[in-house]
Amino acid sequence: MIRGNDPILLTPGPLTTSLATKAAMLRDWGSWDQSFNAITGSICRDLVDVVRGEATHVCVPLQGSGTFSVEAALANLVPRDGKVLVPQNGAYCQRILKILGYLGRAHAALDLPEDRHPTGAMVEEALRADPAITHVAQVHCETGTGILNPLPEIAAACARHGKGLIVDAMSSFGAIDIDVSRYPVDAVVAASGKCIEGVPGMGFVIARRAVLEKCQGNSHSLAMDLFDQWTYLQKTTQWRFTPPTHVVAAFRAALDQFLAEGGTPARGARYARNCAVLVEGMEALGLKPFLPRAIQAPVIVTFHAPDDPAYVFQAFYDRVKAKGYVLYPGKLTRVETFRVGCIGAIDENEMRNVVSAVGETLAEMGVRRAGRVREAAAG
């Protein structure tokens, strides 16, 4: 998949990219140049196709990380007098709630444990209990744990009650099927440095055209005004402000590889194989996944830290990195964990090497009780 001496990033983005994607950044582009604008246009068309939204949706690219685009979607597509329900089971759901607080949008949380996902029935009950709710904001894959939330049934619940749905698909877009032709979704939000395997620096909002056309004046920010960005692109084919040209070019290369691989079904299948090999190998070492397999997305896996005095995460991280693999710290509060990503330009053979590196590291550190769960430290 890759060549070179760089460590493999086992994170949910940035992630390990292919040589072809890296090479696409070696050319400089003029931001108003017709050939660069054609790249932007082709990317937008292909991204809409990924979620089968050609008849109803448009893509608005935006500079910055994925969080920029999540904030832009909430700020533009939710009226200032709207109210948003957030089914909350992890760190990125909590981030949406924080954004809504900054925006001054009324909101309510449907709080759940980090190892439990919301259901359509739960969402329907919350919508019936509070008629003021106008929108639901749902994280599809919560990368704080790796849990996959059931988007189709939540979308169906929103449709039955006539509520708008904004989907944070940051860690699922391109790996887990999303079909906006089958159920109504106001927006799908993702970014360049995730499962399409580009580099970070560009987000995008795939918005229902009819909704976007009505949101002029909602934005709190000039830079994040999706309506203005979209209408300017339609008139000129250009971004309003300086685009991340190298990121865009790399994303075009990554999209080409994504399509050549077979799109979402093939990309998701590779990640699923990665995940299965990883979990099987880590369990053989005595390391226990935080989530049951039935709700585990094939994107990133959270593992319980060993309850052994010889285990210290930073030392563990440094030793695994020295063997060529960059892990991710845990995001849970009640138990100590670490995370291992399954996405990027890597395959199941690389995951076997990851397991070997982890096993060697635990042996070097003298960790014996890998299978016991350590509680998180207080504070």
Token pair belonging to 240:
């309003």
pTM of the model: 0.94
Helix ranges restricted to H, the chain: 19-23, 34-50, 66-77, 91-103, 120-129, 151-161, 209-212, 226-236, 245-261, 263-284, 313-322, 348-365
The alpha carbon torsion through 183, 188, 193, 197 (nearest 10 deg) reads: 20
CATH number for region 20-260: 3.40.640.10
Question: What does each of the 379 residues of the chain score in pLDDT, given as a tens digit?
Answer: 444 568 999 988 899 999 999 999 999 999 999 999 999 999 999 999 999 999 999 999 999 999 999 999 999 999 999 999 999 999 999 999 999 999 999 999 999 999 999 999 999 999 999 999 999 999 999 998 999 999 999 999 999 999 999 999 999 999 999 999 998 899 999 999 999 999 999 999 999 999 999 999 999 999 999 999 999 999 999 999 999 999 999 999 999 999 999 999 999 999 999 999 999 999 999 999 999 999 999 999 999 999 999 999 999 999 999 999 999 988 776 789 999 999 999 999 999 999 999 999 999 999 987 665 555 554 4
> What is the identity of the amino acid at 309?
P
**Domain boundaries along the sequence of the chain:** 20-260, 264-365
The helix/strand count (H/E) of the chain reads as: 12, 14
CA distance 200 to 66: 8
Cα separations in angstroms, 362 against 122, 149, 182, 242, 341: 42, 32, 47, 47, 19
Domain 264-365 has CATH 3.90.1150.10: yes
CA distance 48 to 173: 11
